[in-house]
A and B are shown apart, each in its own frame.
Chain A
Amino acid sequence: MSASSGSNKRLMTEITKLSALAAPDSSVKFLLDKSPLDDPAAGSRPGASSGTPHVILGRILPSSSPYSQAAFQIEMKLPAEFPFKPPEVAFVTHIYHPNVDDKGKICVDLLNSNDAWKPTTSLVDVVKAVVDLIDHPKIDHALNADIANEYTNNRAEFDRKASALVKEKGLSRK
């Protein structure tokens, strides 16, 4: 069916664009670690027909302190209805941040299928939105009230804890 080869073409282009983010002059820093195209057999079967969602893994490189010291791996799961439904995005690397919960879940407006997700939104847009959220925490949309409180009222303590976790769990930025 051509619509699925259409979605494969879309997947391929998305992955190509994500790979290109590794370039030193790219607008947002991202290192692609794993994609469905890595396994040639899997790549030829569209996610919709095999029933398992396509998963993309990669590391974001935030520029704000203390996260600029390391890279953080995120997972993007593409549902069978992609691009008509948004990808599910979660942090694989543990990160101490007001907008990331203890399961690695984040709340990004762009991914909200009720409001903002459009079939023309790209995975690069998604990565940009995630990095933007990490670099500019949204306290009123915090997923963790305790951390949000701490960020607002005891910033030194927040920085200490965030830094410690970055040192302990953060990945290489190469």
Chain B
Amino acid sequence: MATEHEQTSVSANDNIGTADTSYRHHDIDLDLQTQQQNQIETEVALTQPLISEKIPLVQLQNEYASDDKIYQDKVSELIKRYKYIRRTRRDGNCFYRAFAFGYLERNLNNQNELERFRQLTNDLKDQLVKLGYLEFTVEDVRDIVLEIIDNIRKDGSETTLIENLCSSNYSDYVVAYLRLFTSAYLQINREFFENFIEDGKSVKLFCNTEVEPMARESDNIHIIALTKAAGVPLRVIYMDRSEQSTLTTHDFAAHDDEPSETFQPMITMLYRPGHYDLLYED
């Protein structure tokens, strides 16, 4: 390419004196940014599994300084209620990955529930096509997810679950599809959700930039949409630096008219700023 350029009779350098190097810096900056991002991603991938094994929750104490009273008190609180934690990789996809793993793990031997979810997974494609999505790319993602659900239904073993959700090739398809579940629900209920989006962004724009692209982090709005779309009750325990020693519990009901007294979560997550992990009572 470079030699070709020298041979041509035209050149950008014909215009002398109007050079402004800020545009070239933009080009270099983007390259550098991408390079750095790739480096970080590779490092994360090498040191953090997508989903870890079940770790005794007491180990969480080691994550905070022994004299960090606020956090140590909260960890003690947490240990009273939960026994294990599974860590997820910090890659912006942790909410969806935790949701997928937690849901499937809970329902490994529940054929009815898996069938219900399989049906929803199947039907989502048509919903998306109706919303204007390209059929073949949505099908591409859906078909892998269906395959994973079928693999799990077949033998209901934790090994199969881990094989399917802990290798990035398969696992990312599930994450991508859960993002589509979330997006479709937001768009179908846009009049309601419009009120909760910052900057007056339209629901469609929000979905395009904050929901569907991989690695975009999740907020309450994403959680509400996915739990409703999938019909899965979820409990999130919030642990942050705020002064109160009690942990905050957020319950996300699968259906609007569910009474809070009888709420039973199918999945429980621990939220610490920017990150979601899975919690287990046993």
Interface-side segment among B103-111, B189-197, B205-213: B205-213
Given A94-B1, A145-B19, A145-B20, also A9-B140 (CB < 8 A)? yes
| B73-115 vs A, Cβ < 8 Å mask (1 yes, 0 no) | 0000000000000000000000000000000000000000000
Contact between B173 and A120, CB atoms less than 8 A apart: no
Instruction: Kindly list chain B residues whose C-beta atoms are within 8 Å of the C-beta of A121.
Output: 137
Instruction: Kindly list chain A residues whose C-beta atoms are within 8 Å of the C-beta of B60.
Output: none
Given A3-B144, A101-B27, A164-B9, also A122-B134 (CB < 8 A)? yes
Instruction: Kindly list chain B residues whose C-beta atoms are within 8 Å of the C-beta of A161.
Output: 10, 14
Instruction: Kindly list chain A residues whose C-beta atoms are within 8 Å of the C-beta of B144.
Output: 2-3, 6
Which residue from A4, A6, A144, A147 sits with its C-beta under 8 Å from B143?
Answer: A6
| B104-131 vs A, Cβ < 8 Å mask (1 yes, 0 no) | 0000000000000000000000000000
Which residue from B9, B20, B136 sits with its C-beta under 8 Å from A13?
Answer: B136
Given A116-B213, A118-B212, A122-B134, also A83-B10 (CB < 8 A)? no
Contact between A94 and B4, CB atoms less than 8 A apart: yes
Which residue from B15, B141, B143 sits with its C-beta under 8 Å from A146?
Answer: B15
- Bound Cα distance from A105 to B24, whole angstroms: 12
Which residue from B19, B37, B138, B172 sits with its C-beta under 8 Å from A120?
Answer: B138
Instruction: Kindly list chain B residues whose C-beta atoms are within 8 Å of the C-beta of A6.
Output: 140, 143-144, 147, 173
- Bound Cα distance from A143 to B181, whole angstroms: 37
Among A4, A113, A145, A164, max chain B CB count under 10 A is at A145
Contact between B141 and A118, CB atoms less than 8 A apart: no
Given A101-B27, A113-B213, A161-B10, also A169-B4 (CB < 8 A)? yes
Contact between B136 and A115, CB atoms less than 8 A apart: no
Chain B, interface SS category: helix
| B1-24 vs A, Cβ < 8 Å mask (1 yes, 0 no) | 110110011101111001111111
Given A84-B214, A94-B4, A103-B1, also A146-B19 (CB < 8 A)? yes
- Bound Cα distance from A142 to B23, whole angstroms: 7
Determine if B170 is an interface residue (Cβ-Cβ < 8 Å): yes
Determine if B176 is an interface residue (Cβ-Cβ < 8 Å): yes
Determine if A30 is an interface residue (Cβ-Cβ < 8 Å): no
Given A3-B173, A118-B212, A121-B137, also A107-B180 (CB < 8 A)? no
Determine if B64 is an interface residue (Cβ-Cβ < 8 Å): no
| A94-112 vs B, Cβ < 8 Å mask (1 yes, 0 no) | 1010000111110100000
In the complex, how many residue pairs between chain A and chain B have their CB atoms under 8 Å apart? 120
Contact between A122 and B136, CB atoms less than 8 A apart: yes
Determine if A48 is an interface residue (Cβ-Cβ < 8 Å): yes
Contact between B208 and A116, CB atoms less than 8 A apart: yes
Instruction: Kindly list chain A residues whose C-beta atoms are within 8 Å of the C-beta of B213.
Output: 113-118
Determine if A33 is an interface residue (Cβ-Cβ < 8 Å): no
Given A107-B30, A120-B134, A165-B8, also A2-B147 (CB < 8 A)? yes
Chain B residue at smallest Cβ distance from A90: B1
Q: In chain B between 30 and 45, which residues have their CB closer than 8 angstroms to a CB of chain A?
A: 30, 34, 37
Min Cβ gap B268→A in Å is 28
Chain A residue at smallest Cβ distance from B34: A113
| A108-143 vs B, Cβ < 8 Å mask (1 yes, 0 no) | 000001111111111001000000000000000011
Instruction: Kindly list chain A residues whose C-beta atoms are within 8 Å of the C-beta of B176.
Output: 84, 118-120
25 A-B contacts (beta carbon < 8 Å)? A2-B144, A6-B143, A48-B169, A83-B140, A94-B1, A94-B4, A94-B8, A102-B2, A102-B12, A104-B1, A107-B27, A114-B37, A119-B137, A119-B141, A119-B212, A120-B137, A120-B138, A121-B137, A145-B21, A147-B12, A149-B18, A150-B15, A154-B15, A161-B14, A164-B8
> B interface vs A, CB < 8 Å?
1-2, 4-5, 8-10, 12-15, 18-24, 26-27, 30, 34, 37, 133-134, 136-138, 140-141, 143-144, 147, 167-170, 172-173, 176, 180, 208-209, 212-214
10 further A-B pairs in the complex, CB-CB below 8 A; given A107-B27, A146-B19? A2-B144, A102-B2, A114-B213, A118-B176, A118-B208, A118-B214, A120-B180, A125-B134, A144-B12, A148-B23
